[in-house]
Amino acid sequence: MSATTEEWRKLSGARLFVTGGTGFFGRWLLESLLAANQRLGLGIEATVLSRDPAGFALRAPHLSRPGGLRWARGSAVNLNAAEVAKGLDVWAGELAFDMVIHLATEADNPRTVADPLAAFDVIAGSTRRALEFAEAVGARKFLFTSSGSVYGPQPPDLPHLAENASCAPDVTDVTSAYAISGSAKRAAEALCVDFGKSRGIEAVIARCFAFAGPGLPMDGKFAFGNFLADALAGSDIVVTGDGTPVRSYLYASDLTIWLWTLLVRGAGGRAYNVGSEHAITIAETAEAIRHEVAPKARVRILSAPDKTRPTHRYIPSTARARHELGLEERVDLPTGIRRTAAWLNQAR
Instruction: For the chain, give every domain's residue range.
Output: 2-215+249-277+315-331
Q: Where are the alpha helices (DSSP H) in 251-317?
A: 252-265, 282-293
What pLDDT is recorded for position 66?
Answer: 61
> Cα(28)–Cα(26) distance, rounded to whole angstroms?
5
Interatomic CA distance for residues 339 and 273, integer angstroms = 24
Q: Which CATH architecture has domain 2-215+249-277+315-331?
A: 3-Layer(aba) Sandwich (3.40)
Which pLDDT does position 3 carry in this prediction? Answer: 62
Q: Report the pLDDT value the prediction gives residue 341, as an integer from 0 to 100.
A: 96
Q: One digit per residue, pLDDT tens: the chain, 348 residues?
A: 566 788 899 999 999 999 999 999 999 999 999 999 999 999 999 999 999 988 888 888 888 766 679 999 999 999 999 999 988 878 777 899 999 999 999 989 999 999 999 999 999 999 999 999 999 999 999 999 999 999 999 998 899 999 999 999 999 999 999 999 999 999 999 999 999 999 999 999 999 999 999 999 887 778 999 999 999 999 999 999 999 999 999 999 999 999 999 999 999 999 999 999 999 999 999 999 999 999 999 999 999 988 888 889 999 999 999 999 999 999 999 999 999 999 998 876
Measuring CA to CA, which residue among 51, 91, 40, 44 is closest to residue 67?
Answer: 44
- Verdict on whether the full-model pTM lies above 0.85: yes
The residues near 214 (Cβ < 8 Å, ≥ 6 apart) are: 252, 339, 340, 343, 344, 347
Q: What is the pLDDT of residue 250?
A: 98
